[in-house]
Structure 1
C-alpha cells in the first residue's frame, strides 16, 4: 500500500495536481494545512483526509465508481451545497466526516443504506428538516449536532441500529483497540498498513477531539438542533451505547424509563429541553454512568438518592424549579480544623513568616539597625530556599501526541 502524508505543514495554494501522477496511491493526507480553492473533480478511488484546510466550493459528485473508498474526511473547510449522492456507491466506506463546513441539505437518509458505515459526522453545518435515520445497521458514532434539524423522533426505528444494540465488553485503557483503516485487508487491526482518523465530539460535557476512535466507542449526539416531541422509548434498545447527548433541543414529556437499559452508558446530557416529570431513579443503577446533565428543563420531584446522582455537580440539576433534593449535592463541605502538626506545616505563607520575623526583630532585638540587618539576610536566604524548593516540587507536564 502506498500512502502520501503531507499533513500538519504550512502548505498553501490550490490542490496539488501532481499527485495524480502517483498511480499506485491509495491514501492521501493533506490535513492541517492552508490549501484553498476547489477540490478537483477528478478524485480517484483512494482514501482522502483533507481536514482543516480552506477548500471551498462544492464536493464533486465523482464517487460513482469509488467502490473501494474506505474513508473521507473533508471536515473544517468551507465547502457548501449538498452531499453528493454518488457516495452511496462507496459500499466499503466506514468513516465519513464533513464537520464544520457550509453544507445545506436535508438529512441524507440514503447514507443509511451504506452497509459498512461506522462513523458519520455532520456536525456544524446547515443541514435542516426532519430526521430520517433508517438503516445504519453498523453505525457506531453519529454526530449531527449544531445544525437546523427539526421535527419529532416518531420516524426513528432504533431497533435497526444493530451495532449499537449489541452489548460490548469495554476494553481497559491498557488494552485499547482503535478503528483503523487498512487498505490491504480493511479490517480493524494494529499493523503497519493501518491508518486512523480523528473526530471531535462532546465528551462528558466538553468538546473533545479524539485522534483515534476506539472500537468500543459508541455515541449519539443530536444536540443543538430543533428536535421536539417525546424521546422514544426505543432508544433503550441501544444497549451498547456509551454516550448520549440530546441537549439544546425542545424535547417534551417524561424522560424515558428505558434509558435504564443502557448499562454501558457513561455520559448522558438531556439539558436545555422542555422535559417534565421525575428523573427515573433506575438511572442510578447504571454503574458506568459518571456524567449526567438534566439542567434547564421542567423536571419535578426528588433527585434520586443513588451514588451516581449524588456525585454530580450541582449545575447538572439547575433551573428545574420543581426539582428538590439539591441540598445534599450543592452544599459546601465544611472545613475541618487542622491538626497541630498541620498548623506547624502550613500555619502561615512563607512571605508572612518572614515579615512577622522582621517585626519581631525590630521590636525586641537589641536595636532597629540590627533587626533590619538580620531581617535582610533572612529574606535573602528564605527567598533562595523557597525558589529552590519550588523548583524541586514543581510538577512536570509532558504532552504527547498520539498517531
Structure 2
C-alpha cells in the first residue's frame, strides 16, 4: 500500500530528526515548516519520478547532494529555502532539465552560479537570495524565455552589467531583485529595452505566477504549491506567500551603480515597484519617470541626485510611497494629487528643498499648497489688510516727518533772512 503513495504532505508540523526518504514512485514530497535537521541523504536521488520537493523552513545542514542533477529530468519544483546548507549549488548535468521553479534562498551557499541552469528552458522562478554566491551578473540566463522571477539579492555579485549578448534577453522577466550586492557602473539601460513583460501585459496572464505547476491538487485539495518570495516592497520587507500575476518589480538598491537615471526605463510602463536607493546616482530627477503610470512605490533615496522635483511627477495616481531623502534636491516640493499625502521623511536631508510638508518655507509661491483651508485664507487676507494698513501708516508717518523737517527748514530760513534785513537797516541808520 505505502509503496503506491504518490503524494506526501507533512508541512507545518513539529517533525524532528532526519528527512524521511520518499518512496521510489513518489511524485510530490512536501515536508516544509518542521524541525528537521541533519543532511539530505543521497538516497533521495533514487526517487527518479519525483516532480516537486519542498524541504524549506527546517534546520537542515551540510552540502547539497551532487546527484540532485539526476532528478532534473522529472523534477519541476525544488524549494530548499531557509535552511543552513553550505557549499556550491550542484550542476544540473542531466540530458534534460524540467525544472520550472528553484528556490535556494536564505542558506549559506557559496561559489558561482552553475551555468548548467541555462539548460532549464522552462525555468520561470529562480531565487538564490541571501546566500554567499560570488559571481558576475549571469547574463547567460537571459536566454531563458520563460524566466519571470530572478532574485539574486544579498550575495556577492559584483562588476559591471554590460551590454546584452543577444537581441532578446529576459523577455518574460517581471521581477528582478539585485539589491545588496556589489554591482557597479551605469544602470543596465540596455537590458531595460528587452524586458518586454514590463512594458505591456499579455491578456492571458494567470492570477498568480506559478499556476502552471499546480497539479498536486488532483490527489489532494490541500496539496497545492505556490511560489513565494521575500522582497522590499513599498519601503518594508514583505513576504509574498503567493505572487500576483500582474506584479512587476525592479530592485537595484544598495549597490554601487553610478551615473544618471537612463531614459530607457520610461518604456517599462507596467512597473509597480522601483527601488534604486543607496547607490551613487547623479543628475536631476528626470520628468520622464511620469511615464511609469502604474508605479506604486518609487525609492530614489540615498543617492546624489540634484535639481528640483519635476512638476510632471504629480501626474502619478497610484503612487503610495515616494522617497527621495538623503539627496541634494532643491526648490519647492510639488503639492498635487499623491504628493499631498507624502510626509517629511520622504524628503529629509535635502537641505535645498522647501515647502509643505517641510517646515522650511519657500520664497517662491510655487512651494506653497495651491489650495488652503478657509481659516488660512481668512488669516492670509487679514494679514494682507494689516500689512496694507502698516504701509499706509508708514507712508503717513514718513510724510509727516518730511513735512516737519521742511517746515522747520523754511521757518529757520525766513528768520535768518529777516535778521539779515533788520541788521542791514540798523547799520545804514548808524552811518547816517
Q: TM-score range with shorter-chain normalisation?
A: 0.7 to 0.9
Q: What is the Cα deviation at residue 168 of structure 1?
A: 7.4
Q: What residue number does 2:48 align with?
A: 23
After the TM superposition, which residues 132-151 of structure 1 pair with which residues of structure 2 at under 5 Å, given as runs? 132=162, 134=164, 135-151=169-185
**1:167–1:239: 8 Å Cα contact kept in structure 2?**
no
Q: What is the Cα deviation at residue 313 of structure 1?
A: 1.7
SS at match of 2:43: helix
After the TM superposition, which residues 44-55 of structure 1 pair with which residues of structure 2 at under 5 Å, given as runs? 44-45=71-72, 46=75, 47-55=77-85
Cα distance 1:42–1:243, how it changes in 2: closer, same or farther (>3 A)?
same
Q: What is the Cα deviation at residue 99 of structure 1?
A: 0.6
2:313 equivalent to 1:283 = yes
**2:58–2:83: 8 Å Cα contact kept in structure 1?**
yes
- For residues 101-122 of structure 1, what are the alpha-carbon distances to aligned partners after superposition, in whole Å with 9 as ceiling and x for unaligned? 0000011111111110000000
Q: What is the Cα deviation at residue 132 of structure 1?
A: 3.5
CA–CA separation in structure 1 for the residues paired with 2:244 and 2:163: 23
SS at match of 1:11: strand
Name structure 2 gaps, 5 residues minimum.
1-5, 7-26, 362-432
Cα distance 1:63–1:222, how it changes in 2: closer, same or farther (>3 A)?
farther
**1:182–1:194: 8 Å Cα contact kept in structure 2?**
no
After the TM superposition, which residues 138-217 of structure 1 pair with which residues of structure 2 at under 5 Å, given as runs? 138-153=172-187, 156-166=190-200, 177-183=207-213, 195-217=225-247
Calculate the aligned-residue CA RMSD, in Å: 2.5
CA–CA separation in structure 1 for the residues paired with 2:67 and 2:114: 14
2:351 equivalent to 1:311 = no
Larger Rg: 2
2:85 equivalent to 1:85 = no
Relative to the length of structure 2, the TM-score reads: 0.71
Q: What residue number does 1:100 align with?
A: 130
**1:275–1:299: 8 Å Cα contact kept in structure 2?**
yes
Cα distance 1:330–1:120, how it changes in 2: closer, same or farther (>3 A)?
farther
Relative to the length of structure 1, the TM-score reads: 0.75
CA–CA separation in structure 2 for the residues paired with 1:224 and 1:234: 21
CA–CA separation in structure 1 for the residues paired with 2:224 and 2:135: 33
After the TM superposition, which residues 208-227 of structure 1 pair with which residues of structure 2 at under 5 Å, given as runs? 208-227=238-257
SS at match of 2:313: helix
Question: Relative to structure 2, which stretch is displaced further, 217-226 or 129-138?
Answer: 129-138
CA–CA separation in structure 2 for the residues paired with 1:271 and 1:262: 18
SS at match of 1:300: strand
Q: What residue number does 2:387 align with?
A: none
2:41 equivalent to 1:7 = no
- For residues 272-323 of structure 1, what are the alpha-carbon distances to aligned partners after superposition, in whole Å with 9 as ceiling and x for unaligned? 0000111122221111111100000011111111121120121100111111
Q: What residue number does 1:274 align with?
A: 304
Q: What residue number does 2:66 align with?
A: 41
Cα distance 1:23–1:133, how it changes in 2: closer, same or farther (>3 A)?
same
CA–CA separation in structure 1 for the residues paired with 2:243 and 2:285: 29
CA–CA separation in structure 1 for the residues paired with 2:163 and 2:277: 19
Q: What is the Cα deviation at residue 69 of structure 1?
A: 0.8
**1:295–1:320: 8 Å Cα contact kept in structure 2?**
yes
**2:54–2:78: 8 Å Cα contact kept in structure 1?**
yes
Q: What is the Cα deviation at residue 184 of structure 1?
A: 7.7
SS at match of 2:183: strand
- For residues 26-47 of structure 1, what are the alpha-carbon distances to aligned partners after superposition, in whole Å with 9 as ceiling and x for unaligned? 0000000111110011111112
Q: What is the Cα deviation at residue 229 of structure 1?
A: 0.4
Q: What is the Cα deviation at residue 159 of structure 1?
A: 1.9
2:275 equivalent to 1:249 = no
**1:200–1:207: 8 Å Cα contact kept in structure 2?**
yes
- For residues 107-144 of structure 1, what are the alpha-carbon distances to aligned partners after superposition, in whole Å with 9 as ceiling and x for unaligned? 11111111100000000001100124731110000000
CA–CA separation in structure 2 for the residues paired with 1:21 and 1:330: 69
CA–CA separation in structure 2 for the residues paired with 1:19 and 1:288: 48
CA–CA separation in structure 2 for the residues paired with 1:25 and 1:33: 20
Question: Relative to structure 2, which stretch is displaced further, 95-104 or 149-158?
Answer: 149-158
| Number of residue pairs aligned between Structure 1 and Structure 2 | 324
Q: What residue number does 1:338 align with?
A: none
CA–CA separation in structure 2 for the residues paired with 1:177 and 1:83: 30
CA–CA separation in structure 1 for the residues paired with 2:214 and 2:323: 43
Cα distance 1:307–1:82, how it changes in 2: closer, same or farther (>3 A)?
same
Q: What is the Cα deviation at residue 167 of structure 1?
A: 5.2
